[in-house]
Amino acid sequence: MPKTIIEVNNLSKVFIRHKKMPGFKGSIKGLFIREKIETRAVDQINFSIKEGEIVGFLGPNGAGKTTTLKMLAGILYPTSGQIAIDGFIPQERKNEFKKSIGMVMGQKQQLLWDLPAEDSFELLKELFAIQEDEYHKHLNRLVRLLDVKDLLNIQVRQLSLGQRMKMEIIAALIHQPKILFLDEPTLGLDIVSQKNIREFFKEYNREHKTTILLTSHYMEDIKSLCERVIIINHGQIVYDNLLSKLVKDRLKHKIIRITLSKASSISLAKYGKIIKSDSLQVELAVDRTKATLVAKQILDDLEVEDINIDEPEAEEVVREIFQSKVKIQKLEVKR
């Protein structure tokens, strides 16, 4: 059975800033009396991740996702709580710990802008003390998987966004980390580039059993890569379980997609809520407990060429949770 490689217990992060009154008088007053404002970005969260898992870490902007990733990577110090990453305490920043993790942030880069990417890889080789033969062997493997052989000697500034992201991924993996933190790795990429990068992470995880914690606003990233999701909202974890279970438990309807042989005078609204209707193509939302019965009734009443019963999109479930105005901590399910 895979071992637990990430363990988080009662983790919190509070940011403190001071409010200043406007004008010169406000500046003078601030020298003696300052109003302190606390922002609790992460609030006593708990979770664990096993070796080789790919876990989606979801939440709206400001929910605490990136703050959590930075604490896991040792970039930020927790206000309270404990983190264990492969037996290390991240904030101690031991060299062995830094060699065990990699990080890709879609909004920040680690490559040297004016140099070819290969020069940055050489620098990382020295920083991580990677043996020459092992470095070239692993680099060639990554270059082949990402299909960037002809781009290694081109200035990073001259690469497209998708090409740069591939180079950032190589930089994060060049030392073969056990754990990879991905913060919006497909941000701003076109659909083809997104798909290629998702396929790469699938293949890399299969080959190396690398543990991956992924944040993304693109639900296709999550659906393609992650069986399990952790949802954080207002600094607290509100769900931790299988993505499929989230859809099943949270949404009370299923989608029936119908292709009619010919138009019907019968109102399709009698079978369920019409989501989409385009000539002979119809989508209905029906009570999930009655979906099979409704489908049978449709087949009896109408001339149907094709019919399918599907689960709603995971994105719909997550959006509903984010927009909920009630406390939803009760959704949390411990693994």
Note whether residue 279 is domain-resident: yes
Q: Is the pLDDT of residue 245 over 70?
A: yes
Q: How confident is the model at residue 18 (pLDDT cuts 50, 70, 90)?
A: confident
Length of the chain: 335
Q: Are residues 171 and 187 in the same domain?
A: yes
Question: Mean pLDDT across the chain, nearest whole number?
Answer: 87
> In the numeric block, which tokens belong to residue 225?
């890569």
pTM higher than the cut 0.85: no
- Residues 38-92 have pLDDT tens digits of 889 999 999 999 999 999 998 888 888 989 999 999 999 999 999 999 999 999 9
Q: Which of 18-22, 277-281, 287-291 has the lowest mean pLDDT?
A: 18-22
Q: Are residues 233 and 200 in the same domain?
A: yes
Strand partners, 7: 48, 84
Q: Are residues 107 and 169 in the same domain?
A: yes
Q: Is the pLDDT of residue 226 over 80?
A: yes
Q: Which of 215-224, 269-278, 280-289, 310-319 has the lowest mean pLDDT?
A: 310-319
pLDDT number for residue 324: 59
Instruction: Among 222, 247, 272, give the residue marking a domain's end.
Output: 247
List of residues 6+ apart from 170 with CB closer than 8 A: 117, 121, 139, 142, 143, 146, 148
Q: Are residues 61 and 178 in the same domain?
A: yes
Q: Are residues 117 and 243 in the same domain?
A: yes
State how far the Cα of 71 lies from the Cα of 93, in Å rounded to an integer.
Answer: 11
Give the residue-averaged pLDDT of 137-166: 91
Return the closest-CA partner of residue 42 out of 68, 61, 74, 16. 68
- Domain with residue 199: its CATH number is 3.40.50.300
Q: Are residues 151 and 68 in the same domain?
A: yes
Residue percentage of the chain with pLDDT more than 90: 50
Q: Are residues 207 and 256 in the same domain?
A: no
Cβ-based burial of 150 (10 A; exposed 0-12, middle 13-18, buried ≥19): exposed
Would you state the torsion angle of the CA atoms of residues 244, 247, 252, 256, taken in this order, to the nearest 10 degrees? -80
Q: Are residues 242 and 261 in the same domain?
A: no
Q: 49: how many CB neighbours lie within 10 A of its CB?
A: 24
Domain that holds residue 282: 252-310
Q: Which of 112-126, 259-273, 312-326 has the lowest mean pLDDT?
A: 312-326
Could you identify the residue written with the tokens 């076109």? 190
Question: How does DSSP classify residue 21?
Answer: -
Give the residue-averaged pLDDT of 149-167: 91
State how far the Cα of 189 lies from the Cα of 161, in Å rounded to an integer.
Answer: 7
The side-by-side arrangement of strands in the sheet containing 304-310 is: 273-278, 281-287, 253-260, 304-310
> In the numeric block, which tokens belong to residue 143?
């270059």
Element at 250 (helix H, strand E):
helix 243-250
Angle at 50 between CA 41 and CA 316, to 5 degrees: 55
Q: Is the pLDDT of residue 330 over 50?
A: no
State how far the Cα of 126 lies from the Cα of 123, in Å rounded to an integer.
Answer: 5
* R_g over Cα of the chain: 25
Q: Are residues 236 and 277 in the same domain?
A: no
